[in-house]
Structure 1
Amino acid sequence: MRNKPNPRKRLLGRKLQRLREDTGMTQAEAGEPLRFSTSKLSRIELGHLPKYNEFLALLDRYGVIVSDYDGWVRQYDRALEKGWWHAYGLNDKGYVPLEADADEVRTYQLSYIPGLLQTEPWMRAAFACARMPLPPRRQQNEIAVRLRRQERLISDNPLTLHAIVDESVLWRRDLPSAEMRQQLEHLIECAALPNVTLQIISLDFGIHPGRDGGFTVLSYPSFGEPDIAFVEHGIGAMQFEKEHEVKPARLAFDHLADLAFDEEDSIRLIQRVIAET
């Protein structure tokens, strides 16, 4: 199965589509002199970008003047750049590439602290108790990736994060007391960032939508791309991109945000847990 292009490729594909539509040409008319089939041009407009010379040929076909090529070429090169995660042995599948292009992440976690808010000791403990423990070198790579992801929270163009966590996570003794306090204090520090919102759902709530498990909704307003819902489970993960699939995740998250303590009360709860840890 063909991998879905990243948001940068899809954005450039849509721009090429708009160029074609501005000329009044159909896909068949645009592709005929270039020997592009309609199916090939359709794939290009979905973000499966052509070779460089084919890309320039399309620009020429759509009447873009040579002096305007530079901006288009920069977009083309950026769309084809390999993500930083390749240096750690990861490909373009899975969650990390989705998060790397996202402007906003909304995540609910029932059983663990979100990766963007974890301390390194918590990461090590989580990897150590995995169903299939990773070899030491691979584990170190995974930790490095997670730490690299966290850098976006304090970057010049920071990721917006809204995290909702079940209170039970705070009380688990997944780490020695000193390290657990460090993790909880780290949550408070992260919550102080202007781009981070942290809420805790009280143990006092009974059955609610979050009891089914954690999930994440990723948003891409700067790319004009639709939201993606991502669900990780014990034996894999699932990604949802159709609006009728993603909408229930957004609604569930909004409902959980209404159920949860506001951020001020959430911080008070974390402070109480620290005092008793």
Structure 2
Amino acid sequence: MNDMNSSPGPAMILARRQLGRFLKARRTKTGKSIKDAAAAVQLSTAWLQRAEAGRSPRTLRRQDIRALCELYGVDTADTKRAIRLAAPAVGTEVMVDIYRALEATAQQVTCWEHMVPELLHTVDYARAHLTGPIDAPGDEVLDRWMTRQDILTRVLNPVTLEVLIDQAALHREIIAPELMAIQLDRLVEVSTQPGVTVRIRPFTAGGNISTGRFVILDFDAGPSSGRLDTDEPPGVYVADSVADGRYLDDPRDVRRYRDLVTGIRRACLDERKTRDLLKRAARRYRQADARRPAAD
């Protein structure tokens, strides 16, 4: 079947907004007007206006999305992603695409983590993190994962990142001790970068945080900041990983997680003490590595 009819839920509304931005950006890049683009693929101007605004028509057809992508010169991979965004159900693969697009356009990212934050992984830590029960990630998957970190160092409008990490993350040895030391060195290094804050919630803070990993994404309030414009409201991604979670943009949910961040932040070490703790932990891993028997 080609028709994609549905009563949109929150995840689908988010997907349709992403699809709308994608279609508008690609059309604008070609220099075509909405009227000309719609006529070229035998759609109404009103249909394309609604689609680009994220207020998708009741019926989205694969052939319409594909025709627009062909008109705009979109490559095969991005065409497939666009078609997935128009699907009647938002699955894991679609949610991954949506989250990464949102992350790439966010003005500020605030994370609470029980592991090393995904945006600060070394290649070795990322490989271990992404390895499933059977297969390790291929080079292409690993490259895409690591490319996400470009938002921290891009010349124009790097994201502002705040990561709050449970101290237990430092003791979850998912790679060899020497590699864990290198990962902790990475946290120390990036914590001195402008726009990046890394703080540890120590064991001595007591109590437990009842929620798992979550990420708050804040977007540009307007074009005056010079950032890529987006009409997306603030949102919270609650998940164990990008591939397994839910996205909340109801203002009440966002406020609840902001309040949670405020409480976590109060219990965290300051930045200097965090770096000292990370350096001590890295030193212990190197000492443990030195004590390991040499391979035959």
- Same structural fold, with TM-score higher than 0.5 when normalized by the shorter chain: yes
Name the SS for the 1:106 alignment partner.
strand
Q: Which runs of 5+ in 2 are unaligned?
A: 1-5, 7-11, 26-42, 61-68, 85-92, 221-228, 286-296
Q: Percent identity, please.
A: 20
Deviations 1:230-265 (A, max 9, x none): 011378211111111221111111221111111111
Q: Which residue in the other structure is 1:104 paired with?
A: 108
Alignment of 1:248-259 (within 5 A): 248-259=256-267
Structure 1 position 196, deviation (Å): 0.7
- With the length of structure 1 as denominator, give the TM-score of the two structures: 0.68
Matched, 1:228 2:235: yes
Structure 1 position 122, deviation (Å): 0.6
Name the aligned partner's letter for residue 226 of structure 1: P
Q: Which residue in the other structure is 1:119 paired with?
A: 122
Contact 2:108 2:160 in 1 (8 A): yes
Q: How many residues align?
A: 223
Name the SS for the 1:226 alignment partner.
coil
User: Given the superposition, is the C-alpha separation of residues 5 and 269 from structure 1 closer, same or farther in structure 2, using an over 3 Å criterion?
Assistant: same
1:81 and 1:108 map into 2 onto residues whose CA distance is: 39
Matched, 1:150 2:149: yes
- With the length of structure 2 as denominator, give the TM-score of the two structures: 0.64
User: Given the superposition, is the C-alpha separation of residues 174 and 46 from structure 1 closer, same or farther in structure 2, using an over 3 Å criterion?
Assistant: closer
Name the aligned partner's letter for residue 5 of structure 1: R
Structure 1 position 267, deviation (Å): 0.5
1:149 and 1:104 map into 2 onto residues whose CA distance is: 14
Of the three residues 5, 9, 14, the one matched with 2:17 is: 5
Aligned Cα root-mean-square deviation (Å):
3.7
Contact 1:162 1:197 in 2 (8 A): yes
Structure 1 position 214, deviation (Å): 1.0
Q: Which residue in the other structure is 1:202 paired with?
A: 202
Alignment of 1:152-231 (within 5 A): 152-157=151-156, 158-208=158-208, 210-221=209-220, 222-231=229-238
Q: Which residue in the other structure is 1:275 paired with?
A: 283
Contact 1:9 1:47 in 2 (8 A): no
Q: Which residue in the other structure is 1:93 paired with?
A: 95
